[in-house]
A = this chain, B = another copy of it.
Amino acid sequence: MKKQLQLQDFVDGFKKKDIAILSRAITLVESKNIEHQKLARQIIDTFYKQTGKAKRIGISGTPGVGKSTFIDTFGMSLIDAGLKVAVLAIDPTSQKTGGSILGDKTRMHQLAASKEAFIRPSPSGTTLGGVASKTRESMLLCEAFGFDVVIVETVGVGQSEVTVSQMVDFFLLLMQPGGGDDLQGIKRGILEVADLVAVNKADGDQQTQASIALQEYSTAIKILHHGDSAWTPKVIKCSGLKGIGLDEIWNSVLEYYKIMEKDQQLQFKRDQQLKSWMWSMLMEKVENELTQNDQLNKKLLRTQQELIENKLNIMQATQQIFDSLTHMEK
């Protein structure tokens, strides 16, 4: 059995750059045990002021686009440039079984072997909102620990991209060299939140295809760009496998920060994200209270029963629960 760590152990461990301690802290963040959660909050409270210095980058793309290889090579190029890189992976694809297709660390051989990197799959089996909140807290811990770049990886299923784009500074979308059909429908909402579209696998036979895709995505981005940001999204060809275009991508990221740090635009973006996060935390808290506070939970169960028995309709039932929640005894 592992020794029960105290707050001071985490403070010491973070100071000594002990990666196992960071890992334990994230495990606490992800835990559903009330005592663990309490300690996790203390840890985050303690390190909160040391956060915010890392570059927060979201990377997404559908399965098969070469995401793992790209992140592996891209991450290593950052490490070669002297940076420390953390990768957090969110995978909400499987709601029922809680299985994960991103969970496997061995997808990124080089990063997994590097002392300057940290790879962590997301907790699975909860709601996307719940996973997002845990990932944010894990991100803060990685920042406080001293990582320069935190990459949040997600699988391309639409809703999760939007969630991730709300917690990172810069959102990179990896695409296939195909184009055409890919542009319709399903990708549109994702293209709208992308700060950079990287057309991957632009090597060997697929170079012509990649150039066509580059053209098409550039047009799409131009149409979808809303002009509410100082940054104009870019489209860049690359190959994670051959290491092509990675410098160009990183230079774009740096250029983005340069532009967004003018007039405190980045700060404004992060402030907005913080507010939304508070909203989701609040909703989570309401849910916890209703299920864990005995008196409230009794009322909830009674109301649900009346709803099912058709004695109350959906509006009346909702109102009843709302009233008990908002007039709790002190």
A189 to B287, CA, bound (A): 24
Q: Categorize the interface residue count of chain A.
A: 35 or more
Tell yes or no: A251 within 8 A of B by CB: no
Interface of A is mostly: helix
Please, which residues of chain B bring their CB within 8 A of the CB of A158? 92-93, 157-160
Given known A159-B157, A159-B160, contact A93–B281 (CB-CB < 8 A)? no
Counting every copy of the chain, the complex holds: 2
Contact check: which of B181, B278, B326 meets A314 at CB < 8 Å?
B278
B308–A275 touching, CB < 8 Å: yes
Indicate if the CB atoms of A282 and B95 lie closer than 8 Å: no
Residues 253-296 of chain A, each 1 if its beta carbon lies under 8 Å from chain B, else 0: 00000000000000000010011011101110111010000000
Q: Is A10 an interface residue (CB 8 A)?
A: no
Give bound CA distance, A279 to B307, whole Å. 12
| Given A226-B96, A326-B289, A330-B327: A318 in contact with B101 (beta carbons within 8 A) | no
Residues on the B chain within 8 Å of A189, using CB: 92-96, 157
7 contacting pairs across A/B (C-beta < 8 A): A45-B315, A48-B313, A62-B186, A157-B189, A275-B304, A289-B326, A327-B327
